[in-house]
């Protein structure tokens, strides 16, 4: 995954459910009102954020109940997205890598609690980190994408070939960010190394291993990598915005992503993957449970991540799954266990502010379970006077990146020195805050922080915390 922080209101009516194994259940649980609301909200979202195309699937209690396609897979020739259009899925690839590692452990060929040096003695910090820590992003290894170059230079470099040795050399001499196991930090490096472990232990290339042990057994005939010499016709092209202008995204070289994020797939193949994984066909049920079990640091802090799967809540509802993003695509594959509902969204928009894939899954869930969402969005009681206004105004100033009147002089000065520009680039694209929902106060290091959920538009929301000193904001954090 390479993380990067007009004409889109076209709804394509083709429902290509024959590509799914459960097509006879189409729309079994969705009313015409729900489908109309979902489509209207998604079209509005795509238009507002200028997303070129998208495809969605809703799976209820194991049955595909709705699929739909929107917009264009290619602006050249105005080619429409179909529900069987392949999209890059970015870091959703990490689920496959994690499952492959667990398969090899079940076969007695490795142990996830062994040091990395057991399999890759020359890897960075190989004696200090375990495979489990790589799987859970608790290794402390620096991300190879966070080099000394400016982001624009990484963007250029990632379009050119690079060897495994040169990629690991980028972080070879960097210290660990923290003692392994003590904290959580998302690291593509960990999954790059896990992909190499798979090759060394199995004696196969990563691509060949996936094909023989995962893709073929599950009948995932429309999943491939953008390293493959022969690729299906009809694959979506990626787009993104640079300084407000939409452009074709540059092609990533697979050497930069590999086991961390170079798969391309379809709605139906991802549904097959999810069903196969959950049924014990890929790894044992015990190992699938381990993938969904939230990792806890050595200090007792929850991380929000298991082994290849995020473990979180949205609308106060448990959720497991993964998102993915490359320079021209975002995707989300999210499961809500209490509702037994899975929502998959694939888009050919590389913008991360907001991520279209995750926003679309939020939109769909909101229309499927409006009462749950309404309850989750009820404000907590005892909101201090004036704090809501300060939360809204301070976030607006972070988006504008010019003056910081809502902040204390100390924090405002720090923002001007540099972080302000980064935060402006990260948040400006969300648009205006339509609602700031107070969710209570909490103590951190003897200081009171006020928690909010900021709502921007259907599906687009963010956790935002502020600390107040007098009538100014003295600290902010983002969930």
Return d(Cα 44, Cα 57) in angstroms, integer. Answer: 18
For residue range 227-281, list pLDDT tens digits in order.
887 777 899 999 999 988 999 999 889 999 999 999 999 999 999 999 999 999 9
Tell me the three state secondary structure of residue 380: coil
Return d(Cα 291, Cα 99) in angstroms, integer. Answer: 8
CB atoms closer than 10 angstroms to residue 441:
15
133 forms beta bridges with: none
- For residue 456, give the CATH number of its domain: 3.10.450.50
First to last CA, the chain: 21
Return d(Cα 165, Cα 68) in angstroms, integer. Answer: 42
Selected residue with higher pLDDT from 251 and 200: 200
Same domain, yes or no: 367 and 392 = no
Same domain, yes or no: 444 and 343 = no
Tokens encoding 266: 């379809």
Same domain, yes or no: 183 and 325 = yes
Domain span at residue 313? 90-371
- Residue entry with tokens 């954090």: 477
Confirm whether 392 is domain-assigned: yes
Return d(Cα 218, Cα 275) in angstroms, integer. Answer: 9
Same domain, yes or no: 283 and 395 = no
Domain total of the chain = 2
Same domain, yes or no: 285 and 326 = yes
CB 364 within 8 A of CB 40: no
Same domain, yes or no: 360 and 449 = no
For residue range 37-83, list pLDDT tens digits in order.
999 999 999 999 999 999 999 999 999 999 999 999 999 989 999 99
Same domain, yes or no: 405 and 268 = no
Q: In this predicted structure, what is the pLDDT of residue 28?
A: 55
For residue range 342-379, list pLDDT tens digits in order.
999 999 999 998 999 999 999 999 999 999 999 999 99
Question: Could you give the angle at the alpha carbon of 324 between the alpha carbons of 425 and 93, nearest 5°?
Answer: 150
CB 282 within 8 A of CB 214: yes
Confirm whether 297 is domain-assigned: yes
385 forms beta bridges with: none
At residue 13, does pLDDT exceed 50? no
Confirm whether 69 is domain-assigned: no
For residue range 82-126, list pLDDT tens digits in order.
999 999 999 999 999 999 999 999 999 999 999 999 999 999 999
Return d(Cα 451, Cα 345) in angstroms, integer. Answer: 29
Confirm whether 72 is domain-assigned: no
Return d(Cα 353, Cα 99) in angstroms, integer. Answer: 30
Q: What's the pTM value of the predicted model, to 2 decimals?
A: 0.93
User: Count of residues for the chain?
Assistant: 479
Tokens encoding 215: 């893709």
| Angstrom distances, CA of residue 256 to CA of 41, 97, 319 | 35, 16, 29
- Residue entry with tokens 């076969």: 107
């Amino acid at each position: 995954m390479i993380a990067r922080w007009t004409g889109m209101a076209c709804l394509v009516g083709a429902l290509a459910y024959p590509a799914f194994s459960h097509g006879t259940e189409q729309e079994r649980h969705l009313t015409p009102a729900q489908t109309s609301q979902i489509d209207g909200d998604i079209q509005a979202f795509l238009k507002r954020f200028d997303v070129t195309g998208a495809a969605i699937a809703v799976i209820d209690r194991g049955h595909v109940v709705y699929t739909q396609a929107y917009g264009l897979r290619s602006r050249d020739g105005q080619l429409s997205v179909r529900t069987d259009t392949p999209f890059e899925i970015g870091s959703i690839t990490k689920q496959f890598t994690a499952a492959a590692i667990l398969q090899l452990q079940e076969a007695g060929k490795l142990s996830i609690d062994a040091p990395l040096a057991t399999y890759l003695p020359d890897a960075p910090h190989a004696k200090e980190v375990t495979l489990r820590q790589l799987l859970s992003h608790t290794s402390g290894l620096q991300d190879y994408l966070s080099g000394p170059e400016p982001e624009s230079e990484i963007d250029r470099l990632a379009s050119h070939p690079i060897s495994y040795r040169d990629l690991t050399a980028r972080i070879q001499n960097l210290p660990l960010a923290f003692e392994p196991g003590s904290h959580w930090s998302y690291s593509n490096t960990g999954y790059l190394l896990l992909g190499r472990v798979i090759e060394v232990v199995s004696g196969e290339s990563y691509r060949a291993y996936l094909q023989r042990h995962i893709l073929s057994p599950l009948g995932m005939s429309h999943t491939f990598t953008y390293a493959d010499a022969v690729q299906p016709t009809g694959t979506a092209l990626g787009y993104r915005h640079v300084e407000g202008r939409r452009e074709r995204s540059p092609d990533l070289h697979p050497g930069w992503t590999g086991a961390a994020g170079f798969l391309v797939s379809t709605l139906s193949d991802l549904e097959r993957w999810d069903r196969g994984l959950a049924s014990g066909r890929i790894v044992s049920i015990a190992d699938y449970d381990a993938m969904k079990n939230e990792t806890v640091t050595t200090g007792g802090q929850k991380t929000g991540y298991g082994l290849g799967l995020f473990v979180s809540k949205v609308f106060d509802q448990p959720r497991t799954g993964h998102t993915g993003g490359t320079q021209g695509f975002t995707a989300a594959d999210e499961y809500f266990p209490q509702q037994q509902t899975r929502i998959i969204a694939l888009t050919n928009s590389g913008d991360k502010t907001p991520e279209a894939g995750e926003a679309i899954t939020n939109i769909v869930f909101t229309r499927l379970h409006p009462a749950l969402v309404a309850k989750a969005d009820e404000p907590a009681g005892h909101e201090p006077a004036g704090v809501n206004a300060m939360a809204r105004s301070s976030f607006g100033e972070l988006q504008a990146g010019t003056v910081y009147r809502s902040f204390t002089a100390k924090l405002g000065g720090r923002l001007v020195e540099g972080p302000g520009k980064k935060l402006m680039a990260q948040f400006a694209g969300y648009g205006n805050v339509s609602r700031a929902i107070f969710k209570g106060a909490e103590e951190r290091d003897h200081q009171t922080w006020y928690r909010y959920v900021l709502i921007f538009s259907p599906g687009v929301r963010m956790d935002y915390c502020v600390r107040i000193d007098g009538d100014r904001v003295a600290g902010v954090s983002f969930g």
